Protein backbone atom coordinates (compact mmCIF):
# COMPACT_ATOMS: atom_id res chain seq x y z
CA UNK A 1 0.00 0.00 0.00
CA UNK A 2 1.18 3.50 -0.72
CA UNK A 3 1.74 5.84 2.19
CA UNK A 4 -1.33 7.98 1.43
CA UNK A 5 -3.63 4.98 1.14
CA UNK A 6 -2.23 3.58 4.37
CA UNK A 7 -2.83 6.91 6.15
CA UNK A 8 -6.44 7.01 4.91
CA UNK A 9 -7.11 3.46 6.10
CA UNK A 10 -5.54 3.93 9.53
CA UNK A 11 -7.43 7.20 9.95
CA UNK A 12 -10.73 5.52 9.15
CA UNK A 13 -9.98 2.67 11.55
CA UNK A 14 -9.12 5.20 14.27
CA UNK A 15 -12.38 7.12 13.67
CA UNK A 16 -14.36 3.89 13.69
CA UNK A 17 -12.82 2.85 17.03
CA UNK A 18 -13.73 6.24 18.48
CA UNK A 19 -17.35 5.87 17.35
CA UNK A 20 -17.53 2.25 18.52
CA UNK A 21 -16.52 3.21 22.05
CA UNK A 22 -19.86 4.97 22.36
CA UNK A 23 -22.17 2.79 20.25
CA UNK A 24 -23.23 -0.68 21.29
CA UNK A 25 -25.93 -2.85 19.71
CA UNK A 26 -28.43 -4.53 22.03
CA UNK A 27 -31.24 -6.98 21.34
CA UNK A 28 -33.80 -4.13 21.48
CA UNK A 29 -31.72 -1.79 19.29
CA UNK A 30 -29.03 -3.64 17.30
CA UNK A 31 -26.22 -1.86 15.47
CA UNK A 32 -26.48 -1.25 11.71
CA UNK A 33 -22.85 -1.31 10.53
CA UNK A 34 -21.85 -0.08 7.07
CA UNK A 35 -18.67 -0.73 5.10
CA UNK A 36 -17.90 1.07 1.86
CA UNK A 37 -15.22 -0.04 -0.58
CA UNK A 38 -14.43 1.54 -3.92
CA UNK A 39 -16.93 -0.64 -5.80
CA UNK A 40 -19.29 -2.20 -3.25
CA UNK A 41 -21.06 -1.63 0.06
CA UNK A 42 -21.84 -4.07 2.83
CA UNK A 43 -24.29 -3.63 5.70
CA UNK A 44 -24.90 -5.83 8.72
CA UNK A 45 -27.29 -5.68 11.65
CA UNK A 46 -25.37 -6.84 14.72
CA UNK A 47 -26.36 -7.69 18.29
CA UNK A 48 -23.21 -6.87 20.27
CA UNK A 49 -24.44 -8.31 23.59
CA UNK A 50 -24.60 -11.80 22.07
CA UNK A 51 -21.85 -11.14 19.51
CA UNK A 52 -24.03 -12.27 16.61
CA UNK A 53 -24.78 -10.87 13.19
CA UNK A 54 -28.55 -10.96 12.73
CA UNK A 55 -28.56 -10.25 8.99
CA UNK A 56 -26.43 -8.76 6.29
CA UNK A 57 -26.63 -7.54 2.70
CA UNK A 58 -24.06 -6.56 0.10
CA UNK A 59 -24.10 -4.97 -3.33
CA UNK A 60 -22.04 -7.85 -4.72
CA UNK A 61 -24.69 -10.52 -3.99
CA UNK A 62 -26.55 -12.10 -6.91
CA UNK A 63 -30.00 -11.22 -5.54
CA UNK A 64 -29.06 -7.55 -5.28
CA UNK A 65 -27.42 -7.35 -8.70
CA UNK A 66 -30.66 -8.61 -10.30
CA UNK A 67 -32.49 -5.60 -8.83
CA UNK A 68 -29.87 -2.96 -9.66
CA UNK A 69 -28.53 -3.86 -13.08
CA UNK A 70 -27.93 -0.40 -14.54
CA UNK A 71 -27.83 1.70 -11.37
CA UNK A 72 -24.85 3.86 -10.41
CA UNK A 73 -23.14 3.53 -7.02
CA UNK A 74 -25.33 6.17 -5.32
CA UNK A 75 -28.54 4.51 -6.52
CA UNK A 76 -27.21 1.10 -5.45
CA UNK A 77 -26.51 2.47 -1.97
CA UNK A 78 -30.09 3.71 -1.64
CA UNK A 79 -31.44 0.38 -2.89
CA UNK A 80 -29.21 -1.47 -0.44
CA UNK A 81 -30.62 0.62 2.42
CA UNK A 82 -34.17 -0.21 1.35
CA UNK A 83 -33.27 -3.91 1.04
CA UNK A 84 -31.81 -4.15 4.54
CA UNK A 85 -34.82 -2.28 5.94
CA UNK A 86 -37.12 -4.78 4.25
CA UNK A 87 -35.16 -7.75 5.64
CA UNK A 88 -35.07 -6.17 9.11
CA UNK A 89 -38.86 -5.75 9.07
CA UNK A 90 -39.22 -9.43 8.16
CA UNK A 91 -36.96 -10.30 11.12
CA UNK A 92 -39.07 -8.12 13.44
CA UNK A 93 -36.60 -5.25 13.80
CA UNK A 94 -37.61 -1.61 13.45
CA UNK A 95 -35.13 0.32 15.61
CA UNK A 96 -31.39 0.22 15.00
CA UNK A 97 -28.32 2.21 15.94
CA UNK A 98 -26.45 3.47 12.87
CA UNK A 99 -22.69 2.82 12.72
CA UNK A 100 -21.12 4.63 9.77
CA UNK A 101 -17.88 2.68 10.18
CA UNK A 102 -15.55 5.66 10.40
CA UNK A 103 -16.74 6.98 7.03
CA UNK A 104 -18.06 10.52 6.69
CA UNK A 105 -21.85 10.80 6.67
CA UNK A 106 -21.79 11.92 3.06
CA UNK A 107 -22.28 10.46 -0.39
CA UNK A 108 -22.96 6.73 -0.51
CA UNK A 109 -23.12 6.33 3.28
CA UNK A 110 -25.76 9.06 3.49
CA UNK A 111 -27.68 7.60 0.52
CA UNK A 112 -27.67 4.21 2.27
CA UNK A 113 -28.98 5.74 5.52
CA UNK A 114 -31.74 7.63 3.71
CA UNK A 115 -32.75 4.46 1.85
CA UNK A 116 -32.93 2.55 5.13
CA UNK A 117 -35.10 5.29 6.65
CA UNK A 118 -37.37 5.25 3.59
CA UNK A 119 -37.65 1.48 4.03
CA UNK A 120 -38.94 1.97 7.56
CA UNK A 121 -35.93 1.65 9.88
CA UNK A 122 -35.79 4.07 12.81
CA UNK A 123 -32.41 5.50 13.84
Please report the pLDDT score of residue 107 as a whole number.
Answer: 97
Please report the pLDDT score of residue 1 as a whole number.
Answer: 61
Give the side-chain half-sphere CA count within 13 A for 100: 19
Please state, rounded to an integer, the average pLDDT across all residues of the chain: 94
Please report the pLDDT score of residue 69 as a whole number.
Answer: 85
Pairing of strands 97-99, 31-36: parallel
Please report the pLDDT score of residue 123 as a whole number.
Answer: 92
To the question of pTM greater than 0.85 for the whole model, the response is: yes
Higher model confidence: residue 86 or residue 27?
A: 86
Please report the pLDDT score of residue 27 as a whole number.
Answer: 87
Cβ atoms within 10 Å of 15's Cβ, excluding its own: 15
Average of per-residue pLDDT across 15-26 = 89
pLDDT at 100 over 90: yes
Average of per-residue pLDDT across 4-13 = 92
- Proportion of the chain above pLDDT 70, given as a percent: 99
Domains and CATH numbers, the chain: 3-118 (3.30.420.100)
Please report the pLDDT score of residue 85 as a whole number.
Answer: 97
Whether 42 contacts 57, CB under 8 Å:
yes
Average of per-residue pLDDT across 13-22 = 91
Amino acid sequence: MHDRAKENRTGRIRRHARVRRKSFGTSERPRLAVFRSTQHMTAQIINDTEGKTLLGVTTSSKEFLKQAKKANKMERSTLLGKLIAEKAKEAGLSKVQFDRGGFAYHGRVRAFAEGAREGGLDF
